[in-house]
Amino acid sequence: MTTVLFVVSAADHWTLKDGSKHPSGFWGEELAMPHKIFSEAGWDVTIATPGGKAPTLDRLSMSRTAGRPSKLREVARYLDSIQSRLNSPEGLENIDPDQFDLVFYPGGHGPMEDLAYDPVSGALLTRVLRSGKPLALLCHAPAATLAAKNEDGTWPFAGYRMTGLSNTEEKLNSFGRKAPWFLEDRLREGGADYVKARLPLLPFVVVDRNLYTGQNPTSSERLAKRLVADLADPAH
């Protein structure tokens, strides 16, 4: 059976540049839809967070502006069905990534607050990237790569082609212009070959070696289905 580690932010807010704390957490669709797709494929999914803290759903991700009503209902039903698992995640510090076939990071603004600075997550990302096993990060989740470092202090993801939420998409949020930093900028500054869809909010997935990234919430299903297809293919 294919085993998947979901690394989820434990943050319940995002600190803006004016010092205010914007309520946040994980984005509903980005956790629910990949988890659903993987589970329906017969995969075993383990959820882990820093400190084993129950993750917080970003309520904005369930608002009318976040997607079609039918999709939001599907997301809400699925999150409800796995709520007991969300309430009792594993502690990330106790996880051995070698025990998993795939590591997946869903987004939301939460990773901008905690995983971007988390040394445990950073070490895990460095190890998985080096292992050659599939590593997937969605929307804001590539922020977690900023905590990764090689032994010589260099960034393991330098030179990788990847995507993540664009500056334009961040600024579509009413609070986005208060961002202390933008993910697209940081990835480029770190040396990533950052690419994005022709237009904002379109599904967009990038694969470079064993690194899989999705640009935004609408990329959730495309990213998950690509992983299912690739892991079912003996050539991958």
What domains, with CATH codes, occur in the chain? 3-232 (3.40.50.880)
Q: How confident is the model at residue 233 (pLDDT cuts 50, 70, 90)?
A: confident
Would you state the structure tokens that stand for residue 205, as one six-digit string? 């997935």
For residue 106, the model assigns a pLDDT of 98
For residue 71, the model assigns a pLDDT of 95
Q: What is the mean pLDDT of residues 81-91?
A: 98
Nearest to 213 by CA among 195, 231, 201: 195
Percent of the residues in the chain that have a pLDDT greater than 70, as a whole number: 99
Q: What is the mean pLDDT of residues 112-125?
A: 98
pLDDT tens digit string along 88-118?
Answer: 999 999 999 999 999 999 999 999 999 999 9
Q: How far is CA 185 from the centre of its chain?
A: 17
* pTM of this structure: 0.97
For residue 236, the model assigns a pLDDT of 61
Beta bridge partners of 4: 45, 102
The CA dihedral of 8, 180, 167, 140, to the nearest 10 degrees, is: 0
